[in-house]
Amino acid sequence: MKKEYWEVEDAQVIEKTGKDIASWIKILDDFKAAEKKSNESVALLQNQYNVPRYWARTLTTLYLKKG
């Protein structure tokens, strides 16, 4: 996967999801995303937070790459 897919800026994330990166990292931490399959994290963001699929995948990948 290309770095451009997860190297995003707060402004982009806020515009597309309504929250900044730090907020999404906290949500994924609380979910214990590092211990789960990435598809579970994507589903969480899509289903509970109405994040579009592309951005749910981007945020999950960002979380796993930075963690």
In total, how many domains does the chain have? 1
Range of the domain at 22: 3-66
**pLDDT tens digit string along 1-56?**
566 666 899 999 999 999 999 999 999 999 999 999 999 999 999 999 999 999 99
Residue 4 DSSP code: G
Q: The pTM is what?
A: 0.90
User: Given pLDDT bands bounded at 50, 70 and 90, which one contains residue 57?
Assistant: very high
User: Given pLDDT bands bounded at 50, 70 and 90, which one contains residue 66?
Assistant: confident
Angstrom CA distances, 17 to 33, 34, 35, 47, 51, stand at 18, 21, 24, 13, 6
Q: Report whether 8 contacts 58 (CB < 8 A).
A: yes
